[in-house]
Structure 1
Amino acid sequence: MSNAMVWAEDHLTVLAGRLDGNRYLTAVKNSFIGAMSLLIIGSFFILLAYLPIGGYTDFMAGTFGSDWQSFFTIPYNVTMGAMTLWVVIGIANSLSESYKLDRMACILAALVSFLVLTPTEVLVGSGGTGLPLANLSANGLFLGMIVAVAAVEILRFVDHRGWTIKMPASVPSNVAKSFSSLIPIAVLLVLFNVVRMLFTVTEYHDAQTFIFALLQSPLTALGATLPATLLASFVESALWIFGIHGGNIVGGIMTPIWLSLTSENATALAAGHTLPNIVDYQFYMNFVKVGGSGATFGLVLLLVFLAKSKQFRTIGKLAIGPEIFTINEPIIFGIPVVLNPILIIPFVLTPLVLCVVAWVSMATGIVPLTNGVNIPWTTPPIISGFLVSGWQGATLNVVQIVISALIYFPFFKVADRIALGKELAAEAEITAEASLGKPTQVAAA
C-alpha cells in the first residue's frame, strides 16, 4: 500500500470515528432508525389513498362514500405526518442513555419544549386555537431536532448542579423521580416560553418559521440538488473503500434532509399537487444505491455467472441472497472491495453514474418522481422501483443493474484473472510437491 493510501486511511478513519462517535449525530441517526417503522408503515397508507389504478377511486367512493380517503390519510397523518414528534422522542431517548439521565424526564422535557415553540393557529368557526399538523411534520423537523438536544442539555445542566427536589429514602422511587423533575421542567418551560415570546416581536413571529427560513429550507434545497447527492455518494463510497461504514456516516447527516424531501413529496401527492423533489430519501436508497453502497448488484451477477476463479464463484453464490435485499457486506469484505486497487474505481463510479441516469430520467419525465412512500431499505431492486415510481421505476432499476454490470465488468475481469492465476499457481505447487513425494502441508485446524 502506498504512503498516500496509508495517510488517507489513517486520517479518514480518525475523521469518521469522530463523526460516528458524536453523540448528537448518533442521537439523530438513532432517532430516525427508531422511527423508521412508523414512517414506513404510515407512508404506505398514503399509497393506498392514491393508488394509480383505473376504477379504484370510483369503487372506493361508491363503496365508502366521498370521504373514503380519510381511512388512509388519518393513519398517515399520525405517523409520517407527525414525524417530528417521533424524532424528538428518539433524540431525547438516545441522549438520556448517553448522559445516564432519567429517560422519561428527558423525553417529556424535549416534547414539551418543542410544543411550546410550535406555532398554533386559530381554528376557523370555533374561536379556539390548535396545532396545525403540518407543524409536526417535516416543517418542524429541524426545530424539533435542535430543541430536543437543547432541552436535554439544559436538563443535564440543572441536574448536575443539584437543582432538584430531594425526597426522603422512604418515598417510592417513581414518586421521587417525578418530584426531582419538577424544577428542571419548570426551568425549561420558562426558558422556552421566553424564547417564544421574543420571537413574536420579530419579523418571523415564531421559532419554527425562523429555523425553517434560515436553516431547514436552504439545507433541503441544497440536499435536493444533483451535485449534493453526487457528493454524498462519493463520500459514502470513499469511506467504504477504507473499511469505514460510509452509510452510517453519510446517513447521519443527510437522512433528516432527505426524509424531509420525501415528506414534501408525500404531502404534495396527498394534496393532488405536482411532486416537487427529484432527490429524496427513496431516490438515494433505491436509484443510487442499487444493491447497496457502490451499487454492487451488477458485480454480484458477474461473480455468479461469469467468474472463473473458485473464490469469486463461491463469494458470488454466498452473496447473491443478501444482495437481493441490498445487503452487500459479503462483497465489500469478501472479495474484498476494501483497499482493493482494482475495484476502487467502479465502486465509486457506479453509484455516481446511476445517480445521474436516474436524475435525468426523472427530470425529463421518462420516470415519475418518487411518490413519498417510505419503503424498507431492504426492498429488492425492481420491486422497490415499482413501489416508489411505478413500472417506469422498475424498468429504470433493470437498466441500472445492466449499467452496473457493464461498469464493473472490465475491472471484474482483471480481478478474476488475478484470483484464478493464484489458484492455478497454488494447484500447480501442490501437484509438483506430490510428484516429488513431498507431503502436502495442511493448515492446523
Structure 2
Amino acid sequence: MSEKKENNFLNEKLIPFFNKISSARHMVALRDGMTAAVPMIIIGSIFMIIGQFPVKGYLDFMASIFGPNWSNVVQYITNASFHIMGLVAVAGISYSLARSYKNIDPFSAMIVAIGAFILTIPMQVGKDGGLLIPLNQFDSSGLFTALLVGLFVTDLYVWLMHKNLVFKMPDSVPPAVSNSFAALFPGAISLFVVWLIRLGVEATPMKSIPNVITFFLQAPMSKVTNTLGGAIVIELVVCILWFFGIHGANAISGVIDPVLYAALSVNYTAFKANKPLPNIITKTFFDNFVRIGGCGATLGFVILMVFVAKDQEMKALGKISIGPAIFNINEPVVFGTPIVLNYRIIIPFILAPMANIIATYTAMKMGWVAKTIGIYPPWTTPPILSGILSTGHISGGVMQLFNIVMDTLIYYGFFKSMDNAKLKAEKEMEQAKA
C-alpha cells in the first residue's frame, strides 16, 4: 500500500470510524456521567488526606488539639462525598443521555433514573419497621448498576416520551410543572419495568440485581483489569487512539473507569481498616504513575525538547509545552510536534507508558512501593507530589521520579532522530535563502 493510499485510508475510514464511536451519544453519556462524580471524589480525597495523613507526628498533634476522635469527624465529609459515586454517576449519565435527545426534559429523566437505581437496591426492614438501605450500593459497588440503569432506563423513558404517552397540561401551566406531569406515565412505566425485573431476579438464586451485575460483569472485568496484562491492553488502546488524534482515555473511560474506581474504593476501605491493600491497578495507578505528563508519558519527551533540542522550533515548542506537561496536560506537544500520525514517534509513545506499567506494577507487587490507598489527587497534580499523596508514602514519589527518567531515556533516541532531521531541514532552508 502506497503512503498516499495509506493516508487516505486513515483519514477517510479509520479516523472517522473511531471518532464516530467516541462521539456516540451513549459513550458521551458514560464519559460525562463518570466525570460528574470526579469533583466529589476529589473533595472526599482531600478530607481523607487531612484526617489520615500518614505521618504519626501530625496525627498525634491533631489528636492533642481536637481529641482522639477528630479523624472520624473529618471523615464525615469523605463519607458524604467519596461514597456516592454510583448515585452521582446514574444522575450524570441519565441527564447527559436525555439531553442529547430532542424535546426531552433531562431533569425529569434523571429523577426517574435515580428512582430506578434505588429500586434495584435490596433493602431490609429494621426492628423499628423502617427500611434499611445498604449505602455501599451508592458508592463504587453500585457503579455498574448505575451505568446500566442510567443508559437503559433513560432510553426506555425517552422512547415512551416519543410515543407521546404523556399527561399534557394547559399552556398556562409553568414549564417546570408541565414537565413533571409529562413524565408521569413514562416514569411510572419505566419504574414498573425495573420492578418486574427485580421480582424476576429475586426468584432466582442470585436474589438481587446488584448480585447479577457483579457476577456477570463487574467481577470478570475486575479480574481482567487488575492484572499486568489487563493494564497493558488498556493503555495500548488509549495510546493507539491518541495516535489517530482521538482522546483515548475519554473514549474508553465509560467502560473502564467504573472498574478502576471500584478497585480504588476497595483499597480505601482496606486502608481505613488497617488491612493489606488488595489492588494494584486503580484509577490513580494510571493517572499518577503511567500517564506522567499525559497519555504517552510525554513529560520525558518535553524535557528533552527543552534541554537537549538543537532545532529552534523543537526548543520553542518544548518551552511552551513544559508548563502544561508538569500538570499532565500534553495537547500542546501531541498536536504541536505533532505526535498524532507521526510514525517516527509512535514507538516511544506506546513503549514509555508500557514501561511505566511494568515497572510500577512490579515495584508495588514486590512491596518496594506502596500501593494507592484510595486518595484521588486531581489528575493535574504534578508528579512526585501526586505519587506521595496517592500512596501515602514517599516511595510513590520516588517511583514517579524513576519513571520520568526511564521515559526520558526511552524517548531519547527517537527524539534525537527527529531533532537532527528538523535541524538538517532548517539548515537546508537557510542555505536555499542565501
Cα displacement (A) at 1:297: 0.9
Amino acid in structure 1 at the alignment position of 2:340: V
SS of structure 2 residue aligned to 1:258: helix
User: Contact 1:118/1:207 (CA < 8 Å) preserved in 2?
Assistant: yes
Which of 223, 236, 239 is the matching residue for 1:237? 239
Give distance in 2, aligned partners of 1:367 and 1:9: 43
Give distance in 1, aligned partners of 2:17 and 2:74: 44
Cα displacement (A) at 1:147: 1.1
RMSD over aligned CA atoms reads: 1.8
Give distance in 2, aligned partners of 1:39 and 1:220: 20
SS of structure 1 residue aligned to 2:56: coil
- Tell me if 1:53 matches 2:55: yes
Cα displacement (A) at 1:341: 2.3
Higher alpha-carbon deviation: 149-158 or 250-259: 250-259
> What does residue range 337-348 of structure 1 map to in structure 2 within 5 Å?
337-348=339-350
> What's the counterpart of residue 34 of structure 1?
36
> What does residue range 83-122 of structure 1 map to in structure 2 within 5 Å?
83-100=85-102, 101-122=104-125
SS of structure 2 residue aligned to 1:169: coil
- CA deviations 1:205-253 (Å, max 9, x no partner) are 1111111121111112211111111111112111222222222213233
**Percent of aligned positions with the same letter in both sequences?**
35
Give distance in 2, aligned partners of 1:6 and 1:365: 49
Give distance in 2, aligned partners of 1:286 and 1:183: 47
Give distance in 2, aligned partners of 1:430 and 1:53: 64
Higher alpha-carbon deviation: 373-382 or 56-65: 56-65
Amino acid in structure 1 at the alignment position of 2:167: I
> What does residue range 209-248 of structure 1 map to in structure 2 within 5 Å?
209-248=211-250
> What's the counterpart of residue 325 of structure 1?
327
Cα displacement (A) at 1:116: 0.9
- CA deviations 1:172-192 (Å, max 9, x no partner) are 322222222221222122222
Cα displacement (A) at 1:170: 2.6
Cα displacement (A) at 1:347: 0.8
Which of 335, 358, 361 is the matching residue for 2:360? 358
> What's the counterpart of residue 439 of structure 1?
none
Higher alpha-carbon deviation: 356-365 or 18-27: 18-27
User: Contact 1:269/1:275 (CA < 8 Å) preserved in 2?
Assistant: yes
Give distance in 2, aligned partners of 1:173 and 1:111: 21
Which of 168, 171, 190 is the matching residue for 2:170? 168
Higher alpha-carbon deviation: 343-352 or 263-272: 263-272
User: Contact 1:46/1:266 (CA < 8 Å) preserved in 2?
Assistant: no
- CA deviations 1:355-393 (Å, max 9, x no partner) are 100100100000000111111111111111111122111
Which of 21, 30, 40 is the matching residue for 1:19? 21
Which of 300, 303, 320 is the matching residue for 1:301? 303
- Tell me if 1:183 matches 2:220: no
The alpha-carbon distance between structure 1 residues 218 and 424, as it changes in their structure 2 partners (threshold 3 A), is same
Q: Which runs of 5+ in 1 are unaligned?
A: 432-445
- Tell me if 1:397 matches 2:391: no
Cα displacement (A) at 1:49: 2.5
Cα displacement (A) at 1:46: 2.1
> What's the counterpart of residue 440 of structure 1?
none
Give distance in 2, aligned partners of 1:243 and 1:168: 50
Cα displacement (A) at 1:6: 4.9
Give distance in 2, aligned partners of 1:310 and 1:270: 52
Amino acid in structure 1 at the alignment position of 2:250: N
- Tell me if 1:430 matches 2:428: no
Give distance in 1, aligned partners of 2:164 and 2:349: 53
TM-score (norm 2): 0.94
> What does residue range 69-148 of structure 1 map to in structure 2 within 5 Å?
69-100=71-102, 101-123=104-126, 126=128, 128-148=130-150
Give distance in 2, aligned partners of 1:366 and 1:11: 46
Which of 417, 422, 427 is the matching residue for 1:419? 422
Higher alpha-carbon deviation: 344-353 or 269-278: 269-278
The alpha-carbon distance between structure 1 residues 171 and 333, as it changes in their structure 2 partners (threshold 3 A), is closer
Give distance in 1, aligned partners of 2:269 and 2:429: 61
